[in-house]
């Protein structure tokens, strides 16, 4: 019986939100080649829903039919033929669900139509939550969705029963008739009295076993009670002996003296532990200081290299420019003098700043000298350290990213270069003498020099002079203005005055970051635990202790420097520096006016001077730090201090390990436990002696020997009954297994015809190959050149090919029985090589002469040459 699908129409089904239809499906091979996400797999799901999912179900599968986010009624219409007779069905889900079938026998609706479909297609009602293809019958095996053919699997029970009825004529009668079922039911009923379905003992066997176990338990109990009475006499004597030994141990004073000695050692161990904590803090502080000094020296070396390189570049540029004109000599002399004045002003400002810092340091030191008790000194130092820690964190947070600093440097270079270009390209006019009546662009022209970057009209009496500078001068002026605005905007955004301020802020932030670890170590060092004063380790415990102390009279302060005078001196030095910088700027401007002929060299020198100034400023800032003057000495001392701290730490660790508080406490606990156990043992033995005496008194006259003899007789009777029931159970099991073996041998006869049909196709793919099917008609193994291989161990491509070929073989068997058959493959042969792909296409083309085959694929290159009816999802043709 052939099944030919002619038309599929869907509306509101998953991705098909609007009506869509595919028509003109033919009897043979139909090929749908479309890209992914065009709805090929959705059409197969629509066919399955139309034929096998009940219209009035609302399970999870039916809910998934509706397009996402829409509350509509998915509707499917299928037109098909059964043995040439036209059929059609229309099914709607969820909202007003309905089903209507039109056939040569008439129309049917609702549940009657569902029953008619089940009979026609050999399917059963799906009682699961939906999607159980084994309930779909033959078409559940032959309509293969994506990935379902990637593993070789057997047909469902419905298909196996259909194939079995087809093959009965070939293999003869089997053990499966009514007489066999009656005998089997009787044996199974008796079997269930003794065995569970999984072969575990139950029922009568368990009852007999429980009776035997109960008898054994009673006999054991009687024997145990008799033996226990006899044992009680010997246990009583042993307990009395152990009690005497324990009493002698309790009276011994050795453990008491040992515990006293350990308590004395505990105080020494605690002092060693406190020293170890202090040494750890000292070592951490020394290591942090050493790292900071080494980092400062490294940065100074880098800045020195940059300064030397910039100095070399400046000297080369100046040498070349000296060859151009002797007129530059005077200007150079002036700028050298201005630079010397600037250096002197900077040195004076540095001295003033150092004096102010020294004064501030003296004030801070004087404030730390208060207090006479160790707790007060640590508390005052802790408060200062915590404040310094907060300030340092704030400074560390002001760091400017490296990218931003590089951008500021680029802005400075751009301004210098633009200024040099402007000076080189502008026109300069000098007016002197009698200037009455001289105007420029309609305005009186003052005496002196003037730089002109745009065309200007000069009137001198009755004469008129038009000056036109090079065109590049105006653009150079605009470029300079843009560069200055960009630099100013970047500096304003960061709230800094210039590039040097940015570098200074970053240097301060880096120093603050390194200082944070040092401060944390110092805080930990000044807040050790003091068991004598009952102060725990930590700042809060020290603060709480000091807060409870009585106030102490303040000592007289030493004479402090006048910070106001020092600040005024620094301000005066800053003013002098500003004037020196102004003088230098004036000298540079005069020099640039004389360098019109060597503008390219001036541009090079300006860049080199900028780099030199930056490197010099960085060096001056580093060398202005208080620790720079004695850096090498401080660095050597820091290394020695770190080494000494490591030695002291190692010594403290040895002392702490030699006087281990935990070990001493464990020894004390062992002694205490030994004393406690001895006391508990004495109490337990006294209780045991009293119990044994009571047991002997109560159990002595109960006739335990007679009870033990009666319990043994019950054991023998229960054992005989258990042996008899076990033999009955084993006999029933043997009989049932024999019947099952005979049935399996007969059922195995079905495998031969199935393997014969499947081999006709598989031999084209795997020549000289033997097949082995399981009892459930699943292809289990293949044998090639005498080597057996499990299907599960084959490659994915081979498994997919075998799965398709076995389905074609089952389809042939079902066709012989007159079942409605068609084959639908969704994205098949995705793992096939070119040779096997051609072989599979030939087999499918040949099978299409007997049944309708529909291929749904996205692989245009693989199937474009295959002859068949081409269908377009986009057009339905």
User: DSSP readout, 101-122?
Assistant: EEETTEEEEHHHHHHHHHHHHT
Distance, CA of 591 to CA of 327 (rounded, Å): 10
Q: What is the pLDDT of residue 324?
A: 65
Q: What is the pLDDT of residue 502?
A: 81
Distance, CA of 403 to CA of 781 (rounded, Å): 67
Give the pairing of strands 456-460 and 463-467: antiparallel
Q: What is the pLDDT of residue 451?
A: 73
A 10 A CB-CB count for 136 gives 25
The closest alpha carbon to 412, from 499, 518, 300, 345, belongs to 499
Q: Which residues contact 842 (CB under 8 A, 6 or more apart)?
A: 764
Alpha carbon dihedral 383, 386, 388, 394, in 10-degree steps, equals: -140
Q: Is residue 139 helix, strand or coil?
A: helix
Which pair of structure tokens corresponds to residue 464?
């008129």
Q: What is the rounded radius of gyration, in angstroms, for the C-alpha atoms of the chain?
A: 53
Tell me which H or E stretch contains 275: helix 254-322
A 10 A CB-CB count for 436 gives 7
Which pair of structure tokens corresponds to residue 564?
């106001």
Tell me which H or E stretch contains 856: strand 852-857
* Full strand arrangement of the beta sheet holding 106-109: 20-22, 3-11, 75-82, 85-92, 98-103, 106-109
Q: What is the pLDDT of residue 157?
A: 62
The closest alpha carbon to 528, from 188, 273, 243, 184, belongs to 273
Q: 822 with 854: CB under 8 angstroms?
A: yes
The closest alpha carbon to 790, from 798, 782, 802, belongs to 782
Which pair of structure tokens corresponds to residue 384?
């200062």
Q: What is the pLDDT of residue 397?
A: 80
The closest alpha carbon to 460, from 431, 493, 482, belongs to 431
Q: 609 with 342: CB under 8 angstroms?
A: no
The β-bridge partners of 824 are 143, 854
Q: Is 720 exposed, middle or buried (0-12, 13-18, 19+ CB in 10 A)?
A: exposed
Q: Is residue 181 helix, strand or coil?
A: helix
How many degrees, rounded to 5, is the angle at CA 666 between CA 254 and CA 271? 100
The closest alpha carbon to 142, from 873, 870, 859, 852, belongs to 852
Q: What is the pLDDT of residue 735?
A: 79
Give the pairing of strands 779-784 and 427-431: unpaired
Distance, CA of 437 to CA of 81 (rounded, Å): 114
Q: What is the pLDDT of residue 369?
A: 44
The closest alpha carbon to 152, from 792, 761, 774, belongs to 792
Helix residue spans in 624-703 (DSSP H): 631-658, 661-699
The β-bridge partners of 281 are none
**pTM as predicted:** 0.39
Q: Is 521 exposed, middle or buried (0-12, 13-18, 19+ CB in 10 A)?
A: buried
Which string of DSSP letters, residue by residue, matches 697-722? HHHTTS-HHHHHHHHHHHHHHHHHHH
Helix residue spans in 426-533 (DSSP H): 471-494, 499-525
Rounded mean pLDDT for each run of 10 residues along the chain, 877 residues in total: 87 91 90 88 90 88 88 93 91 92 91 87 67 74 76 60 52 47 76 81 84 83 74 77 77 73 70 74 80 80 83 79 66 80 86 83 57 63 79 81 84 83 73 78 80 76 77 73 85 83 82 80 76 72 70 58 80 82 79 67 76 81 78 80 79 67 75 80 80 69 67 81 83 76 57 69 77 64 76 80 82 81 87 86 89 89 86 60
Per-residue DSSP letter, 16: B
Distance, CA of 726 to CA of 313 (rounded, Å): 109
Give the pairing of strands 438-440 and 427-431: unpaired
* Full strand arrangement of the beta sheet holding 438-440: 443-444, 438-440, 456-460, 463-467
The closest alpha carbon to 779, from 797, 765, 767, 794, belongs to 794
The closest alpha carbon to 819, from 141, 139, 169, belongs to 139
Query: Phi and psi of 148, rounded to 5°?
Result: -70, -20
């Amino acid at each position: 019986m052939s099944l030919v699908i002619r038309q599929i129409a869907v509306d509101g089904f998953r991705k098909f939100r609007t009506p869509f239809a595919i028509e003109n499906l033919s009897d043979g091979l139909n090929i749908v080649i479309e890209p992914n996400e065009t709805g090929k797999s959705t059409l197969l799901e629509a066919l399955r829903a139309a034929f096998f999912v009940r219209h009035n179900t609302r399970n999870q599968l039916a809910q998934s039919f509706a397009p996402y986010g829409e509350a509509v009624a998915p509707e499917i219409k299928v037109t098909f033929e059964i043995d040439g007779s036209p059929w059609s069905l229309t099914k709607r889900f969820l909202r007003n669900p309905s089903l209507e079938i039109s056939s040569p026998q008439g129309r049917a609706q609702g549940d009657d139509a569902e029953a008619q479909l089940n009979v026609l297609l050999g399917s059963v009602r799906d009682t699961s939550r939906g999607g159980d293809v084994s309930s779909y019958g033959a078409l559940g095996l032959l309509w293969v969705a994506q990935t379902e053919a990637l593993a070789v699997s057997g047909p469902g029970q419905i298909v196996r029963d259909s194939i079995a009825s087809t093959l009965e004529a070939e293999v003869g009668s089997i053990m499966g008739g009514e007489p066999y079922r009656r005998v089997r039911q009787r044996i199974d009923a008796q079997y269930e009295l003794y065995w569970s379905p999984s072969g575990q003992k139950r029922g009568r066997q368990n009852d007999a076993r429980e009776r035997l176990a109960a008898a054994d338990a009673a006999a054991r109990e009687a024997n145990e009670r008799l033996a226990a009475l006899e044992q009680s006499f010997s246990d009583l004597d042993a307990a009395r002996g152990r009690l005497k030994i324990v009493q002698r141990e309790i009276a011994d004073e050795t453990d008491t003296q040992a515990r006293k000695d350990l308590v004395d050692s505990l105080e020494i161990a605690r002092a060693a532990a406190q020293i170890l904590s202090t040494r750890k803090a000292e070592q951490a502080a020394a290591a942090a200081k050493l790292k900071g000094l080494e980092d400062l020296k490294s940065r100074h070396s880098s800045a020195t290299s940059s300064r030397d390189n910039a100095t070399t570049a400046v000297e080369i540029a100046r040498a070349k420019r000296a060859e151009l004109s002797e007129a530059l000599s005077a200007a150079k002399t002036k700028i050298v003098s201005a630079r010397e004045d600037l250096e002197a002003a900077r040195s004076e400002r540095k001295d003033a700043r150092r004096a102010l810092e020294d004064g501030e340091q003296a004030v801070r030191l004087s404030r730390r000298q208060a207090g006479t008790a160790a707790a007060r000194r640590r508390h005052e130092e802790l408060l200062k350290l915590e404040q310094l820690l907060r300030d340092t964190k704030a400074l560390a947070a002001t760091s400017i990213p490296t990218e931003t600093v590089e951008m500021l440097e680029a802005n400075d270079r751009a301004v210098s270069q633009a200024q040099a270009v402007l000076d080189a390209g502008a026109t300069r006019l000098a007016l002197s003498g009698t200037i009455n009546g001289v105007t420029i662009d309609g305005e009186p022209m003052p005496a002196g020099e003037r730089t002109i970057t745009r065309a200007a009209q000069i009137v001198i009496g009755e004469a008129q002079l038009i000056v036109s500078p090079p065109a590049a001068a105006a653009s150079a002026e605009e470029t300079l203005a843009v560069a200055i605005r960009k630099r100013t905007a970047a500096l304003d955004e960061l709230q800094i005055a210039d590039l040097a301020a940015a570098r200074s802020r970053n240097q301060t932030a880096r120093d603050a970051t390194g200082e944070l670890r040092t401060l944390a170590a110092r805080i930990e060092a000044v807040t050790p635990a003091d068991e004598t004063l009952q102060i725990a380790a930590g700042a809060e415990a020290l603060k709480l202790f000091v807060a409870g102390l009585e106030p102490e009279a303040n000592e007289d302060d030493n004479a402090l420097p006048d910070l106001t005078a020092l600040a005024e001196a620094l301000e005066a030095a800053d003013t002098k520096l500003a004037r020196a910088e102004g003088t230098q700027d004036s000298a540079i401007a005069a020099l640039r006016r004389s360098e019109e002929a060597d503008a390219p060299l001036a541009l090079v020198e300006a860049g080199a001077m900028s780099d030199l100034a930056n490197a010099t400023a960085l060096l001056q800032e580093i060398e202005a730090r208080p620790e720079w003057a004695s850096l090498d000495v401080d660095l050597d001392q820091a290394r020695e201090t770190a080494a000494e701290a490591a030695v002291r730490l190692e010594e403290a660790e040895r002392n702490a390990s030699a006087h281990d508080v935990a070990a001493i406490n464990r020894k004390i606990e062992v002694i205490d436990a030994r004393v406690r156990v001895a006391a508990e043992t004495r109490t337990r033995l006294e209780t045991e002696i009293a119990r044994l005496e009571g047991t002997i008194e109560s159990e002595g006259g109960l006739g335990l020997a007679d009870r033990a003899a009666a319990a043994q007789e019950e054991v023998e009777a229960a054992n005989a009954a258990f042996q008899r029931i076990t033999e009955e159970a084993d006999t029933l099991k043997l009989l049932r297994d024999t019947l099952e073996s005979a049935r399996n041998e007969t059922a195995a006869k079905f495998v031969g015809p199935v393997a014969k049909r499947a081999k006709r196709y598989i031999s084209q793919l795997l020549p000289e190959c033997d097949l082995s099917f399981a009892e459930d008609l699943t292809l289990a193994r293949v044998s090639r050149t005498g080597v057996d291989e499990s299907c599960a161990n084959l490659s994915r491509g081979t498994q997919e090919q075998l799965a398709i070929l076995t389905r074609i073989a089952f389809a042939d068997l079902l066709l012989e029985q007159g079942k409605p058959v068609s084959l639908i493959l969704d994205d098949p042969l995705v793992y096939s090589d070119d040779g096997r792909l051609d072989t599979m296409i030939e087999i499918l083309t040949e099978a299409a002469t007997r049944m309708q085959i529909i291929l749904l694929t996205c692989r245009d290159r693989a199937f474009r040459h295959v002859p068949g009816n081409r269908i377009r999802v986009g057009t339905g043709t």
